[in-house]
Amino acid sequence: MNVKNIKNTKRLYLLRHAHSPSVPGVKDIDRELSQEGVKQAKALGVYMKKNSFAPDMVMCSSAPRTRKTLEGVLQNVPVANVKYFPILYAGSTGDYLAQIQGCDDSYSSIMVVAHNPSIYGLVALLAELGNDALVHRLTTGGYAPATLSVLDVQQEKWADIQPGKCPLLNIVSPKDY
């Protein structure tokens, strides 16, 4: 992996919400986490703390399942600045990227908690080829609920983030934690 020597390299955490079953009569936006999803979120928080994955700011979809996922993670990874965005519920990969590009550059690390297919699409769009094992996992393993990708953003400004230029440092799913 070729990591540039940039003074203010940033870190991006992209998280799909934890397990949330479809329930007859419940609108998609109103879906809650299952018991399994609650456990996944808490376990991911433990994993993140153990691996020093600590975002400065979180952008989260306003849907209940993403809020509950974040709530589980935050039990072990406190974050002072959390913002909720309706566009992260039904937005496109481009919408997600635009949200990140609009972030204040004082944040050195950001986590986005959102939904498939756009969150997976964002990882695939931004990831730099190079780590064959991680790229293989990204392209063949799907993006299961409670999957987290960690990327380096080799820019000083969030607005300058470029597709295909962010080294993919890690992908973890519930089978890893």
pLDDT at 147 over 50: yes
50 falls within a domain: yes
pLDDT, residue 145, reads 97
What the block records as the tokens of 92 is 């496109």
Question: pTM for the whole thing?
Answer: 0.93
Look up residue 113 and give its amino acid: V
Of 2, 1, 43, 35, the closest CA to residue 19 belongs to 35
25 falls within a domain: yes
Read off the pLDDT band of 7 (50, 70, 90): low
pLDDT at 1 over 70: no
Contact 167, 152 (CB under 8 A): yes
Q: Compute the average pLDDT of residues 67-90.
A: 96
109 falls within a domain: yes
pLDDT, residue 135, reads 80
122 falls within a domain: yes
CATH number reported for the structural domain that contains residue 157 in this entry: 3.40.50.1240
82 falls within a domain: yes
Q: How many domains does the chain have?
A: 1
2 falls within a domain: no
104 falls within a domain: yes
- Using a CB cutoff of 8 Å and minimum separation of 24, what contacts does 46-49 make? 46/76, 46/177, 47/172, 47/176, 47/177, 48/73, 48/76, 48/77, 48/148, 49/76, 49/77
1 falls within a domain: no
d(CA 79, CA 126): 24
CA 17, distance to chain mean position in Å, is 9
Give the range among 78-82, 107-111, 134-138 with minimum mean pLDDT.
134-138
Task: Write out the residue range of the structural domain in which residue 145 sits.
Answer: 10-176
pLDDT, residue 164, reads 94
pLDDT, residue 131, reads 74
7 or 125, greater pLDDT? 125
